[in-house]
Amino acid sequence: MKYYKFIIYLFAFLAVGLSANALAATEFVTTVNTDGGGDYSSLSLWEAAIDSDLTAAGTKVIAGSLTRGSFSDGVAVTQTTSGATATMLHDTATQMMLVSVTGTPNSTNTWYPTADGNDTTNAWTPTDAGDSVIAKVNLSGTVVDTTAVNVTGWTTNSTNYISIQGNYVPPVSGSVYSTSYYRLETTDTTAFTTDENYVFLDKIQVQVTTTGIVGANGVFFNGTNGGRFSNSVVKTIHAVSASRSGFVSQGEAGESTYIWNNVFIDTNKGAAAIRHITNGTLYAYSNTIHNAAYGIRASVANALIAKNNIIQSSDNTTYVDGTLAASSTNNISESDTQVQYADVAQGAFYASSTADGTSASKLIDTSVNFTTLGVKVGSIVRNRTDSTYSRVTAIDSSTQVSLAHDIMVSGEGYTIHTNLWGNVVFVDEANDNFLLGSIDTIAINNGTSTSAEAAPLNFTTDIQGKNRSSVWDIGADEYVVDVKMRGNVKMRGNVKFR
């Protein structure tokens, strides 16, 4: 009986192992270097060359190297001995990508251009039989990439996806938009568009210039599912009022798009920094927005979840347009009138109750504990009885807070939202450096950790790649002081450097 049980367990183990292996995928890694020396000189050339059905059984990445001669992109190839055939989209020093594979490739015999008839002149030697493909491209170069990119015509899924990886890291001084890293810049046309699912765009700089009444977005995810945009900067230069935005998500029912740790600059003159147009859900976490006509624009109610975003200097004073999802929280606006507070008096809240005391510019409620609830200076307050708004200016005690306006009397209902008002201090706002300044008090330590949420929202780093602290900051940047110590240093307790 034990013998039979062993056999059953062995088969079960092998089945699980084979199933896991079948679902695995390997990155086919190519490069775009606008200065030269890469596989491609522009992102659009890469897209055109590698565009394929990544989910097809006949699409494979094979490890190995060129033995002799050379192979042209798109050439028909044949493997000796096995007789397998395919089309080679591209080969690098260590990999090749094949589509339309027929037969059964092996891990030892050479590949050659079918037209050659043999491998005498041109040969590529594999070290494995191939795996399904993740299409990854690494971007670099200081020369501007000026050709708009449209990722379309592919087939992807959550295993076989597209990963576009830039090299951007925000400089600590000067503008966060830097000439030292890869840049995609276009005029009068959207810089990056995709209508494919599972496109991951990370660490890239995008700039769009419009010269007239032309709508042009920075990044447009059009009807996509599982798309990601992160750790990047988008800048727009609009000559006249335009309706397009820094980032636009246009989803379908049941689809989700994720953006985090991005900086949006100058999406003004009628445009929004972040906009969600139709259906699906857009998750916008830990972004920093400066000088936008609309900071965050939710064209579909309750379909945009915003957490830990900074919105400053909106040129038409609309910081949030539309109705955010109820779980939206810890966003900072710079609205400075009671009417403007209404934009951000939504989402999650600390308390929703009824005042039981009256004092000028105070909110008094002896039935709650404002301190325990975590109410902060800057928290937006809504009087639910007469729809007036204010913000918390001081936590006087566990049952009383001071307000910027005299809006509450005993018996009136109120809600204290987790969204905040405040003027964020940046490193150099005048010169477009939107990393957090050391003397800031509104964004630093006022965020909420999202690291326990489902991937990809479980990120734990900021736009610079720094680990976020135990108490998160709001926005794309986490303010952390680098501390170097030498010698015998002992510390005890909860020690945090900033």
Angle in degrees, CA 365, 366, 367, rounded to 5? 90
Rounded CA gap, 10 and 170, in Å? 52
Tens-digit pLDDT profile for residues 400-445: 999 999 999 999 999 999 999 999 999 999 999 999 999 999 999 9
- How many angstroms separate the Cα of 463 from the Cα of each of 144, 171, 202, 406, 445? 21, 11, 10, 40, 17
Tens-digit pLDDT profile for residues 341-393: 888 899 999 999 999 999 999 999 999 999 999 999 999 999 999 999 999 99
Strand-pair partners of 332:
310, 420
Total length of the chain: 498
Rounded CA gap, 408 and 389, in Å? 9
- How many angstroms separate the Cα of 403 from the Cα of each of 47, 335, 359, 362? 54, 15, 10, 6
Rounded CA gap, 197 and 488, in Å? 53
Half-sphere exposure of residue 128: CA atoms within 13 angstroms, side-chain side? 12
Q: How many CB atoms lie within 10 A of CB 65?
A: 14
Q: Are strands 379-383 and 388-397 parallel, antiparallel or unpaired?
A: antiparallel
Hunting for tokens 């790649």 — which residue is that? 465
| 288 phi and psi angles, rounded to 5 deg | -115, 125
Structure tokens at 436: 């957090």
Q: Which of 256, 224, 177 is nearest to 455 (CA)?
A: 256
3-state secondary structure 393-435: EEEEECCEEEECCCCCCCCCEEEEEEEEECCCCEEEHHHCEEE
Structure tokens at 387: 């729809």
The pLDDT of residue 54 is 98
Residues 6+ apart with CB under 8 A from 165: 136, 137, 138, 139, 202, 203
Rounded CA gap, 399 and 498, in Å? 31
Hunting for tokens 């020093």 — which residue is that? 93
Residues 6+ apart with CB under 8 A from 488: none
**Residue pair 350/330 in contact by the 8 Å Cβ criterion:** no
- How many angstroms separate the Cα of 476 from the Cα of each of 61, 176, 201, 444? 35, 12, 16, 11
**Positions of the chain with pLDDT under 70:** 1-23, 213, 242-243, 315-317, 335-338, 482-498
The pLDDT of residue 466 is 96
For residue 157, the surrounding DSSP H or E stretch is none
The pLDDT of residue 253 is 83
Helix (H, G, I), strand (E, B) or coil at 19: helix
Q: Are strands 123-126 and 60-68 parallel, antiparallel or unpaired?
A: antiparallel
Q: Are strands 192-194 and 149-151 parallel, antiparallel or unpaired?
A: parallel
Helix (H, G, I), strand (E, B) or coil at 382: strand
pTM of the model as a whole:
0.91
Hunting for tokens 């639910």 — which residue is that? 384
Burial of 16 (0-12, 13-18, 19+ CB in 10 A): exposed
Q: Are strands 400-403 and 362-364 parallel, antiparallel or unpaired?
A: antiparallel
Q: Are strands 162-165 and 133-140 parallel, antiparallel or unpaired?
A: parallel
The pLDDT of residue 5 is 40
The pLDDT of residue 201 is 98
Strand-pair partners of 463:
none
Structure tokens at 4: 């039979």
For residue 20, the surrounding DSSP H or E stretch is helix 2-23
Q: Which of 322, 369, 387, 375 is nearest to 350 (CA)?
A: 375
Helix (H, G, I), strand (E, B) or coil at 184: strand
**Residue pair 32/42 in contact by the 8 Å Cβ criterion:** yes
